[in-house]
Amino acid sequence: MLSNVPMTLDQIVEDTRHRPPEKVGEQVERLSEDLHTRDPEIKAAWKTEASVNPY
């Protein structure tokens, strides 16, 4: 059963430790996406970096 109670930061970190590296990378990308979407040059640079270094 899913809960509507938000996870704590410690719970998120612990959950992340059990994920495969590719899923952790995806999670980090999604969490930090808003930090970089304001500047198109930064967004493009991250996209390039992610394609060169997928882990």
The one-digit pLDDT tens for each residue of the chain (55 residues) are 567 889 999 999 999 999 999 999 998 888 887 775 667 887 788 888 888 766 6
- State the SS3 of 12-48: HHHHHHCCCHHHHHHHHHHHHHHHHCCCHHHHHHHHH
User: Which of 52, 1, 50, 2 has its CA nearest to residue 26?
Assistant: 50
Q: What is the pLDDT of residue 52?
A: 76
User: Which of 12, 13, 20 has its CA nearest to residue 54?
Assistant: 20
Q: Looking at this protein, which amino acid is placed at residue 13?
A: V
Separation of alpha carbons 13 and 38, rounded Å: 26
